[in-house]
Amino acid sequence: MQAVFLCSNLFKDDEIRKVENAIYDIAFDFQMDYLVDICVIVKNEDQFQYWLGALPFYDNILKEGVVIRG
């Protein structure tokens, strides 16, 4: 399984909640079209920075992640 981590300072937590389901729907369609298994995680940049260095998950994203646009 591949993880897709979306991180942006464009949205605050309450705004993320408004678009999160639409992002999950797009990811589901992608999974069905291309027969891949992905896990989508949507966070804002502030929350990512807060946990960076404290949780290995976030450290791995920084080391292994691919910037799509940033």
Average pLDDT over residues 53-57: 91
CA 48 to chain centre: 10
Residue 28 pLDDT greater than 60, yes or no: yes
Average pLDDT over residues 30-56: 88
> Does 40 map to a domain?
yes
Structure tokens at 53: 């260095």
> Does 55 map to a domain?
yes
Q: Which domain holds residue 45?
A: 2-64
Average pLDDT over residues 50-59: 91
How many domains are contained in the chain? Answer: 1
Helix (H, G, I), strand (E, B) or coil at 6: strand
> Does 69 map to a domain?
no
Element (H, E) at 21: helix 13-34
Q: Average pLDDT, whole number, for the chain?
A: 82
Structure tokens at 21: 């389901």
Contact 13, 44 (CB under 8 A): yes
> Does 70 map to a domain?
no
